[in-house]
Amino acid sequence: MTTVYLNGTFLPLEEAQISVMDRGFLFGDGVYEVIPVYDRQPFRLHEHLARLQASLDGIRLTNPHGADAWESLIMQIVASAEWQDQGVYLQVTRGPGPRDHAFPKIIQPTVFIMPMPLSPPSAESVEHGVSAITATDNRWLRCDLKVTSLLPNVLLRQLSVDADCAETVLIRDGQLIEGSASSVFIVQRGVLLAPPKTNLMLPGITYDVVLELAAAEGMDCVIRPISEAELRSADEIWLTSSTKEVMAVSRLDGQPVGSGQPGPLFRRMHAHYQTFKHTVM
């Protein structure tokens, strides 16, 4: 049985119910986080809670809990779940109200937290990399907010499923932005390149971890805009996210990336990440 938290109560997932008038349901009016948990220790919890605050600020919704209350709720969900390693999904919506685009006068946010099994990339995909396709980024101009209105991401992600690929890499105005549900890095002549955080991409928590680990490993690393041409001629392409960790793209739009196998910098980063995720809160 999976226990979830909904608006002040811990209860079985099957019994958790919200109103059909919830603005999360009617408008996708809410924000969320996905926090990886290793050995029942949330990884980068404070960073996820800080990004949650930024997303709430971005949609003008008051945070229903302080950081200590969030941590306590999350730790209770983590303890109740059956998995040592897991992902904690949490969502805050603007709650129920009449169906009117404008905010209701009185707001009772809906708070939902659930544990999910974490399925890190298979040994096969770490060894050989994954295939990805590219698509034009047709999302809005506040992709820095982690909002539940994910329809554009859903449709973009499905393009890669239809093409039997692991991810859709998004390009806007000739620049690499991110994946439909991941951050993207490239390696060019031994240098790790990361697109800068702007309003057009989610500030990935794993993105930050990878940049920290790259610095610790002494990798040359530059944060700057990356053109589509540079993406297509990259020696390595990496995807990162809280659920995928670090993965190598070995084929992009059917063409081999570099040698067509995960590159040497990826292998170093992947190995470092595996140790790091278990040793640091």
Q: How far is the CB of 163 from ligand PDD (least distance, A)?
A: 18
User: Does 91 interact with ligand PDD (rule: CB under 6 A)?
Assistant: no
Give me the residue label for tokens 């470092």.
Answer: 272
Q: How far is the CB of 207 from ligand PDD (least distance, A)?
A: 6
Q: Which is nearer to ligand PDD, 97 or 186 (CB)?
A: 186
User: Residue 96 gets which letter from DSSP?
Assistant: B
User: Does 148 interact with ligand PDD (rule: CB under 6 A)?
Assistant: no
User: Does 258 interact with ligand PDD (rule: CB under 6 A)?
Assistant: no
- How many CB atoms are closer than 10 A to CB 46? 12
| Contact with ligand PDD (CB under 6 A) among 183, 193, 213, 263 | 183
Q: Which is nearer to ligand PDD, 115 or 204 (CB)?
A: 204
In the region spanning residues 18 to 77, those forming contacts with ligand PDD, defined by CB under 6 A, are: 34
Name the E strands within 122-274.
130-136, 167-172, 175-179, 183-188, 191-194, 220-223, 236-241, 245-252, 255-256
Q: Which is nearer to ligand PDD, 131 or 242 (CB)?
A: 242
CA separation for the pair 263, 248 (Å, rounded): 8
Q: How far is the CB of 44 from ligand PDD (least distance, A)?
A: 8
- Count Cβ atoms within 10 A of the Cβ of residue 132 and give its class: 0-12 exposed, 13-18 middle, 19 or more buried: buried
| Contact with ligand PDD (CB under 6 A) among 113, 181, 247, 252 | 181
For residues 207 to 226, the per-residue mask of contacts with ligand PDD, x marking binding by CB under 6 A and - elsewhere, is x-------------------
Q: Which is nearer to ligand PDD, 2 or 243 (CB)?
A: 243
Clarify whether 146 is annotated catalytic: yes
User: Residue 15 gets which letter from DSSP?
Assistant: G
CA separation for the pair 252, 171 (Å, rounded): 13
User: Does 206 interact with ligand PDD (rule: CB under 6 A)?
Assistant: yes
User: Do 181 and 167 touch, CB atoms closer than 8 A?
Assistant: yes
CA separation for the pair 32, 63 (Å, rounded): 12
User: Do 36 and 87 touch, CB atoms closer than 8 A?
Assistant: yes
| Contact with ligand PDD (CB under 6 A) among 86, 148, 160, 242 | 242
Residues contacting 143, CB < 8 A, separation 6+: 137, 177, 178, 199, 200, 201, 202
Phi, psi of 9 (to 5 degrees): -125, 140
Q: How far is the CB of 200 from ligand PDD (least distance, A)?
A: 10
| Contact with ligand PDD (CB under 6 A) among 182, 226, 258, 269 | 182
Q: Catalytic one among 105, 146, 244, 277?
A: 146
Q: How far is the CB of 169 from ligand PDD (least distance, A)?
A: 11
Catalytic residues, which ones? 146
**Interface positions with ligand PDD (CB under 6 A):** 34, 153, 178, 181-183, 202, 204-207, 240-243
